[in-house]
Amino acid sequence: MTVTLKNGVLDPQGKAIEGALGSLGFEGVHQARQGKVFDLELDTADRAKAETDLKAMCDKLLANTVIENYTIAID
């Protein structure tokens, strides 16, 4: 699961990172956003169930949906 701040929510760490990239000479970098990645191993082989569970985990704990979005990838 990847959790990032929603668009429109100021991300001061993202801003600082963007500034640092600029000072290293990487030009044309915009909208840097810092987020979190959660890697989990699940016992189930049922993909649909895994997706449902992971979504619930994000909604209930891993993301604060007032300020954060999340995406889920399963492999």
Is 38 strand, coil or helix? Answer: coil
d(CA 22, CA 55): 36
With contacts defined by CB under 8 A, how many residues of the chain interact with another protein?
A: 12
State the greatest distance between any 2 C-alpha atoms of the chain, in Å, as a whole number: 47
> Taking the complex as a whole, how short is the minimal distance between the CB of residue 38 and another protein, in angstroms?
9
What character string, x for contact with another protein (CB under 8 A) and - otherwise, covers 46-65?
--------------xxx-x-
Site for another protein in 5-34 (CB under 8 A): 8-10, 12-13, 16
Q: What is the DSSP string of 25-36?
A: T--S------EE
Contact residues toward another protein (CB under 8 A) are: 8-10, 12-13, 16, 60-62, 64, 66-67
